[in-house]
Amino acid sequence: MVKIVGVRFRNAGKVYYFDPKDYKIQVGDHVIVETARGIEYGTVTGKVQEVPEGKVVQPLKPVIRVANAEERKRSGNMSWK
């Protein structure tokens, strides 16, 4: 089993899955993650859950950190490079 958390980058965008590491993450939290496009700010869409390894594309990229107050203020900027 693998732990995952869903993250969305736009209000109506697709949900992508990341490794939550040991963070205490809840629905609605804002997180910083690394994507193919670089470092991005996203919103957690569901609770951390465990799924069979065969249900996710490995390796999962990790959540880098929960967003801080300064990052939440800049949330209109979709690029976090």
Cβ neighbours of 5 (radius 10 Å): 27
pTM equals: 0.83
3-state secondary structure of 79: coil
Q: Residue 72, SS3?
A: helix
Report pLDDT for 69.
85
The answer to whether 9 and 17 have CB atoms below 8 angstroms apart is no
Tally Cβ neighbours within 10 Å of residue 11: 6
pLDDT by residue for the chain (81 residues), tens only, comes to 999 999 999 877 899 999 999 999 999 999 999 998 899 999 999 999 999 988 888 889 999 999 988 888 777 654 444
pLDDT of residue 27: 96
pLDDT at 76: 61
